[in-house]
Amino acid sequence: MTAPAVTNRPAALAADSSTAGIDASCRLPLFMLFGGAAFWLVLGSIFGFIASLKFHKADFLADAAWLTFGRVYPASTNLLVYGFAIPVALGVALWMLARLGRVQLARPWLVTVGAKLWHIGVCVGLIAILAGEATGFEWLEMPRYAAVILLLAYLLIAVWAFSTHHARKERTLYPSQWFVLAALFWFPWIYSTATLLLQFFPVRGVTQAAIAWWYSGNLLFVWLALAGLASSFYFLPKLVGRPLQSSYLALFVFWTLILFGTWVGIPAGATLPAWMPTLSNMAAMMMVVPAAAVVLMVVQTTRGAKTACGGGPLCYMKFGTGALALSVLLLAASGLPFVNRFTDFTWFGTAKLQLWVYGFFAMTLFGAVYYILPRVAGFELPAAKAVRVHFWCGVIGTLLFALPLAIGGVLQGVKLANPDIPFTDVTKATLMFFRLGTMGELLILAGNLLFLFNIGAVLVRYYLAVCRAACADLTAPLPTAEVKP
């Protein structure tokens, strides 16, 4: 193992606004955010895998309350979004803000504390879900004591993100910064509204359901999209060495995404005043507009570029765009009344979300992390090959999970709509597809393990070097060592 090279530079350099100085200022907070995120990601996919095995054998792990389907399943979705997606997006966002603003990250140690606090909140929430304390609202299962920790942690990170942005030396805004700023602002609003009105001062009746759907729609279709697109628009031009095509389209995407996306999420068959699902369906169809513009941007930006993607970050981002397009097509289709008659309340929705959350968001962010990590660590990824393997696991896994489930979902819906088909036959017909999906989940789990492996290896190597330097410091006869990171 060779010692990290870039860390061996004079301390004076770390205080300036060179790229190396900026990367160094992000190091510890990003290690904290990415490391925890990778761990939760793997743990979440293990829970998800357990949950789906129960469809193969209902008896599987059925004797422990904490391992029942209704607990491991929300544990897996919550770990994917709160454990992985949010911290990883925050990490990438902080780094982009610093790099684009040409300033060092403000108060890295406070951001690190915020990151730790966030992971503590996730841990508390996870234990609560497994212990049967989940709230009963989908995507918002973590009970209020975990929610308070999460919100505080988020604010702690967001404040220093804003502060970094405020102190920027490069005043002109790049499109990614719009997306990041809007995302930073979006989450505290939706999360505090949902937590207050559903947990601290609960509203009555189906308004609870309306608020829960409003929240999850905004979290998944706006927040994740803002964070994911910020990364695409930053990294794609960088990776192909061409300017973003174009800022005007990016502005169009920004506006249409926040205007339409924020209304998405209420199922067509929801027991709510009829105007609400109708509005939500219309918004779902309108999401085609920003999605088409994103595809256009990505095609125009990368077209003709000589860069081969070779299983690296560029591949991840391109696949992410494809998954976004496919997912939005499914979303828009389920906005049409003659389609959602057959897709409502089926596996179709699960397929759509998997494409969105994993296919688009997670894959894009993996690409970003693989790009950033060597730079902030100061050395190459220990297992560069694993990046490529992870890519293929992610691609095949996502498709193998989402496509059968989308088809199976339609079949389920068609059969449900025919009351002459007994319910057990409906279940039997869809389980086949679901079982195919389990193989996809297994591949995704494998890919996630590779992600964890790479990040873990970076952290271990970095901290070993730090320890070694500290030891050398202690034992050195003269104060010549400047190897402190």
Partner 1 sequence: MKSSATVFLAAFLALAASWGGFVLAPQIQLGRSVQTVPLGSASLYPLARPGLAQQGLQVYRANGCVYCHTQQIGQEGAQADIYLAEAGTNVAATLAAITKINPEMAKPEVLSNLPRKIVEVADMNAAEPVVRELKAGGGRVEPVIVANGPDIARGWGKRRTVAQDYLQDYPVQLGTRRVGPDLANVGMRWTDPNWHYRHLYAPASALQDSKMPPYRYLFERRRMGQVASPDALQLTGEWAPPAGYEIVPKAEARALVAYLLSLRADAPLFEAPLTPPAGNTAPTNAPAPVVNPPVAAASAQ
Summarize as ranges the residues that interact with ligand HEC (CB under 6 A).
Answer: 69-70, 427
Structure tokens at 146: 């975990």
Helix (H, G, I), strand (E, B) or coil at 378: coil
Q: Could you tell which of partner 1, ligand HEC, none binds residue 206, using a CB distance below 5 to 8 A set by kind?
A: partner 1
Cβ atoms 393, 443 nearer than 8 A: yes
Question: Rounded to whole angstroms, how far apart are CA atoms 402 and 387?
Answer: 22
Q: Among residues 27 and 71, whose Cβ is nearest to ligand HEC?
A: 71
**Closest C-alpha among 70, 40, 63, 33 to residue 227:** 33
How many CB atoms lie under 10 A from the CB of residue 152? 14
Q: How far is the CB of 239 from partner 1 (least distance, A)?
A: 24
User: Which residue has 């897709």 as its token pair?
Assistant: 343
Asked if 10 interacts with partner 1 (CB under 8 A), we say: no
- Measured in residues, the chain has a length of 485
State which residue, 53 or 88, has the beta carbon closest to partner 1. Answer: 53
Scanning 27-35, 55-63, 83-91, 439-447 for contacts with partner 1 by CB under 8 A, the matching segment is: 55-63
Cβ of residue 291: shortest distance to ligand HEC, in angstroms? 32
Choose from ligand HEC, partner 1, none: what does 477 bind? Cβ within 5-8 Å by kind: none
Q: Does 2 bind partner 1 (CB under 8 A)?
A: no
Does 59 bind partner 1 (CB under 8 A)? Our answer is yes
Half-sphere exposure of 285 (CA within 13 A, CB side): 13
DSSP 82: I
Q: Does 177 bind partner 1 (CB under 8 A)?
A: yes
Binding range to partner 1, per CB under 8 A, among 112-120, 291-299, 419-427, 470-478: 419-427
Give the CB-nearest residue to ligand HEC. 69
Per CB under 8 A, 270 contacts partner 1: yes
> CB–CB of 437/404 below 8 Å?
yes
178 binds partner 1 (CB under 8 A): yes
Least CB distance from residue 182 to partner 1, whole Å?
Answer: 4
d(CA 378, CA 372): 10
For partner 1, the closer of residues 97 and 153 by Cβ is 97
Rounded least distance, CB 120 to partner 1, Å: 23
Q: How many CB atoms lie within 10 A of CB 28?
A: 18
Q: By CB under 8 A, tell whether 337 contacts partner 1.
A: no
Q: What CA–CA distance (Å, rounded) separates 452 from 42?
A: 7
Angle (CA) 45 362 453, round 5°: 60
Site residues for partner 1, 250-269, by CB under 8 A, read 251, 254-255, 258-259, 262-263, 266-267, 269
C-alpha closest to that of 190 among 217, 163, 209: 217
User: If binding means CB under 8 A, how many residues of this protein chain bind partner 1?
Assistant: 80
Residue 427 as a binder of partner 1 (CB under 8 A): the answer is yes
| Dist. CA 235–CA 257, nearest whole Å | 20
- Exactly one of 89, 96, 156, 197 binds partner 1 (CB under 8 A); that residue is 197
Residues 40 and 50: their CA atoms lie apart, in Å, by 15
Q: Which does 40 bind (CB under 5 to 8 A by kind): ligand HEC, partner 1, none?
A: none
According to the binding rule CB under 8 A, does residue 188 interact with partner 1?
Answer: no
- Identity of the residue, 370 or 434, whose beta carbon is nearer to ligand HEC in the bound complex: 434
The answer to whether 407 contacts partner 1 (rule: CB under 8 A) is: no
CA distance 96 to 369: 11
Minimum CB distance to partner 1 smaller for 35 or for 277: 277
Measured CA to CA, the distance from residue 448 to residue 44 in angstroms comes to 10
Is 207 among the residues that bind partner 1 (CB under 8 A)? yes
Nearer to partner 1 (CB atom), residue 64 or residue 308: 64
